[in-house]
Structure 1
Amino acid sequence: MGEQGGAAFLFIYLLLIVMVGFPVILAEFVVGRNTERNPVGALKRIGSGAWTKIGWVFVTAGFVILSYYSVVAGWTVRYVLIGLQGGYTADAAPEQFGAVASGLDAVALHALFMLGVIVIVALGIERGIELSVKVMVPAIIVISLGLAAYVFTLEGAADAYAYYLSPELSTIMSEWTTILPAAAAQAFFTLSLGMGVMMTYASYLGEDRNLASDAGIIAVLDTFIAFTAGLIAFPILFAAGIDPGASGPSLIFVSLAAAFAELPLGGLLGAIFFGTVAIAALSSAISIMEVVVSYLIDEWDIDRIPATATLGAVIFLFGTPAALDLIFIDLYDGFANSILLMLGGLLLSIFVGWIVPDLALEEIEKGIKDIGSLGVAWLWFVRIPVVIALIGLVALNAWDYYGFLTGSFADWLNTTL
């Protein structure tokens, strides 16, 4: 939102959650529960020809995202420690972030975070993932609501809420080509779509589960937490008189850190805030890790512990360049988050809507009484509006990524080589 102009971004983001995100969650759900497999195995089981290969888009996206997501999560751990030591600085915030964001310290934090992910996922669904999430998700909600209540009392909060909650139609109309692809990428990322998470988790669901209800709960709860994060961040920035228009990691790790330095008990508040972000990152990372681990377990019959340890080590090594230079985060993120996620959603929507529609309808009707014509309406919505929207979004994001490769990344290569 800071990069894309505030409330106009939020408006489009929420619209995409409802109109694209929710239908695609259901598409992943029906495939996952019907096949009881990871994305690669699922498409092999019910697909034919080239359709059996699209599961690789999901697994590849999860692998690439986790490799740099772990690096960024490592930064949040470091900023928790900085806050507890009372070390946030206003004037030197950019230099402080530069020291944290790359180098051997960043590699060490990347390794520490990946180790935590490996341990939890290696323990399995019930003893590891389910148990940890039962603790982490309520903690995120409670802490976030507490912080939101606190920042409500800060001077400048009213202006922050206006920036956050009052979209201007003129901005939406004039900037939609820029806002739309960014909002779509964020919607897919925050809902874990296109990386196989929903498909993999659905493979563990019983036939008595109401998939539409489960998808709705996920979309609402996830969006509520994301929305609450904005209610926390922007009043802090406005209270400190800091422009929220910074892009990328600079907003949270430079602007917010500088803002905490200006607040009473800012070190403690910052540690709580970044701690909440770290917990949220861990809960997301174990979900992504489960996708790639389930592939080895299902398709190669490898035990969970060696599968998790091996993949964790490979992901760590692949992400190490991102810990050494920020340009690789942009390189990985642009490819996986902005292209692969929506490409996976597009291909799956075509597959579910046009290739296996009867299977999709039969699966979604399980566990839902008196669904009537709603199942057919969902199927046609996936077939036409969702597919058309995703074709346009993939094209827009691919064009943006091409601009990055021929611009910033090309300049970096020329300078480095």
Structure 2
Amino acid sequence: MGRETWGTRIGFILAAVGSAVGLGNIWRFPFQVGQEGGAAFMVMYLAFVLLIGFPAMLAEFVVGRKTGLNAVGAIREFAGGVWQYLGGLFVLIGFVILSYYSVIGGWVLRYVVGSATGGYVGDAAQGEPPVAAQFFAEIASGWDALLFHAIFMLLVVGIVAFGIQRGIEIGVKVMVPAIFVIFGVLSVYAFSLPGAGEAYAYYLSPNFEYIVANWQSLVPAAAGQGFFTLSLGMGVMITYASYLGSDENLAIDGTSIVVLNTSVSVLTGLIVFPILFTAGLDPETSGPGALFISVADALGSLPFGRVVGTLFFATVAIAALSSAISLIEVVVSYAIDEFGMDRARATVIVGAGIFLLGVPVTVDTVFVDLYDMLAAQILLVLGGILLMVAITWLHADEAVEELREGIGDLGAVGTLWIWMVRIPVVAVLIVSLYLGVTGYLEFLQGPFADFLASR
């Protein structure tokens, strides 16, 4: 049987956008903005996406489409030699990310139920405060977290087992438009809130002195966020591009994906920060619990909060699913191509393994940071550096030739793209990797060591 392909071009674009749009945009993005200076982080993030993320995405597209193989096979055929092991790193990254991503996805499913039932909202008529922190503590670890981790993984496995056209493509054609429609409505609602003006000033008016003073934390945060939200450095875009025909214009497709993905991040901020400021909550101290505690607390005190909360968390759940199916597809594609497994069997086996790796995350939320910092700030960036070097320093001619397919004569643009990736992209990623490693070591010696000592 021949390799599967996308049924339509829009199916590929929506699948890639669905991969990019997920918890990285909606869960990770707001607390990164809060922790890294509000609009200062926005400036760094947008610059990274445009100048680093887009050229890097084209590089992954080139490898995937030229070879028509999974991440491991694609790099083995494109670069050969020792570089073939880079594909294995991508498979590992997807495996690790989805293991904790699935647990967080389970939290989101639980919050959809909690929004509809008022589970995290105190009885305002009786003078009770919101109970989001207590609700989160109850569902973030233990049997509840394990159960919803399993439910989320079953949903992901069920969609991917049906294949590219009947499973992934049909799913994203429903899920991705739904994200934009619901978030568009919610952003209008947020605009009407009394704290919107203060929130927009915090979110959209950068303090450049802050950027200069805090670049050491901003650079790795923006790099990790950019690669995470664009699904780069983990083999997703290589895998998805491997199902493309040679007549596709990779530059137009890449532009569409970057613009649509970044729009969701921006929309998320336009929704989340007015809600937080209206409720008098500080986004800088919300941390990773911003989505599940701070936003939930705020919704409990706002008009139509329960309805808005249900819509919001349902949209987050849709986005989480659309990204999760792309992460598991990297590993499933590898199992199908390299070991000759049928899709259903490969998906079940891979899903079970990912579920087991995620079990520690259901024990304590400190494992979210342990997995996330390792994957997003170290492994993703390392994979990106190695791939960019392999493509643009060792196989530049083949890369430009493949990019030309579906576009035509590139002129000087092809050379500009190669040098953009060779120098600025690789240099920024190397600095980001160094800062990411030092930050992770500090975490291991601090919060994680404290957790182990308390056991």
Specify if TM > 0.5: yes
Question: Which among 183, 186, 193 is matched to residue 147 of structure 1?
Answer: 186
1:203-352 alignment, distance < 5 Å: 203-352=242-391
Tell me which amino acid in the other structure corresponds to 2:152. Answer: F
Question: Which among 162, 187, 209 is matched to residue 226 of structure 2?
Answer: 187
* Shift in Å, 1:325: 1.1
Q: 1: CA distance between counterparts of 2:207 and 2:181?
A: 32
Deviations 1:94-132 (A, max 9, x none): 221111100100000000000000000000000000000
> Partner of 1:24 in structure 2?
56
> Partner of 2:16 in structure 1?
none
* Shift in Å, 1:50: 1.6
Q: 1: CA distance between counterparts of 2:219 and 2:75?
A: 30
- Consecutive aligned runs of 4 or more in structure 1 exceeding 3 Å deviation: none
> Partner of 1:41 in structure 2?
73
* Shift in Å, 1:384: 1.2
Tell me which amino acid in the other structure corresponds to 1:360. Answer: A
Tell me which amino acid in the other structure corresponds to 1:184. Answer: A
Question: Which among 174, 187, 191 is matched to residue 213 of structure 2?
Answer: 174
> Partner of 1:102 in structure 2?
141
* Shift in Å, 1:57: 1.5
CA-based RMSD: 1.0
1:88 aligns with 2:120: yes
| Contact 1:22/1:219 (8 A) holds in 2 | yes
Q: 2: CA distance between counterparts of 1:293 and 1:248?
A: 33
1:11 aligns with 2:50: no
| Contact 1:43/1:52 (8 A) holds in 2 | yes
3-state secondary structure, aligned to 2:303: coil
> Partner of 2:423 in structure 1?
384
Q: 1: CA distance between counterparts of 2:80 and 2:315?
A: 44
1:68 aligns with 2:100: yes
| Contact 1:86/1:268 (8 A) holds in 2 | no
Q: 2: CA distance between counterparts of 1:383 and 1:247?
A: 37
* Shift in Å, 1:405: 1.1
Deviations 1:224-275 (A, max 9, x none): 0111011000001111111111343211111000000101121111111111
| Contact 1:244/1:251 (8 A) holds in 2 | yes
Q: 2: CA distance between counterparts of 1:72 and 1:269?
A: 20
Q: 2: CA distance between counterparts of 1:80 and 1:5?
A: 30
Deviations 1:35-85 (A, max 9, x none): 111111111112232211111121111000000000001111111111101
3-state secondary structure, aligned to 2:34: coil
| Contact 1:87/1:267 (8 A) holds in 2 | no
| Contact 2:120/2:130 (8 A) holds in 1 | no
| Contact 2:103/2:148 (8 A) holds in 1 | yes
* Shift in Å, 1:91: 4.3
Tell me which amino acid in the other structure corresponds to 1:4. Answer: E
Q: 2: CA distance between counterparts of 1:248 and 1:25?
A: 29
* Shift in Å, 1:340: 0.8
Q: 2: CA distance between counterparts of 1:201 and 1:7?
A: 33
> Partner of 2:5 in structure 1?
none
3-state secondary structure, aligned to 2:313: helix
Q: 2: CA distance between counterparts of 1:102 and 1:225?
A: 29
Q: 1: CA distance between counterparts of 2:136 and 2:289?
A: 8
1:408 aligns with 2:447: yes
Q: 1: CA distance between counterparts of 2:178 and 2:49?
A: 24
Tell me which amino acid in the other structure corresponds to 1:12. Answer: M
| Structure 2 residues not aligned, in runs of 5+ | 1-32, 122-128
3-state secondary structure, aligned to 2:287: coil
Tell me which amino acid in the other structure corresponds to 2:293. Answer: V
| Contact 2:119/2:135 (8 A) holds in 1 | no
3-state secondary structure, aligned to 2:245: coil
> Partner of 1:160 in structure 2?
199
> Partner of 1:397 in structure 2?
436
Tell me which amino acid in the other structure corresponds to 1:42. Answer: A
Tell me which amino acid in the other structure corresponds to 1:58. Answer: F
> Partner of 2:109 in structure 1?
77
Q: 1: CA distance between counterparts of 2:241 and 2:105?
A: 26
Q: 2: CA distance between counterparts of 1:415 and 1:235?
A: 37
Q: Return the TM-score normalized by structure 2.
A: 0.90
> Partner of 1:354 in structure 2?
393
> Partner of 1:199 in structure 2?
238
Between 1:84-93 and 1:4-13, the stretch displaced more is 84-93
Q: 2: CA distance between counterparts of 1:91 and 1:74?
A: 22
Between 1:187-196 and 1:364-373, the stretch displaced more is 364-373
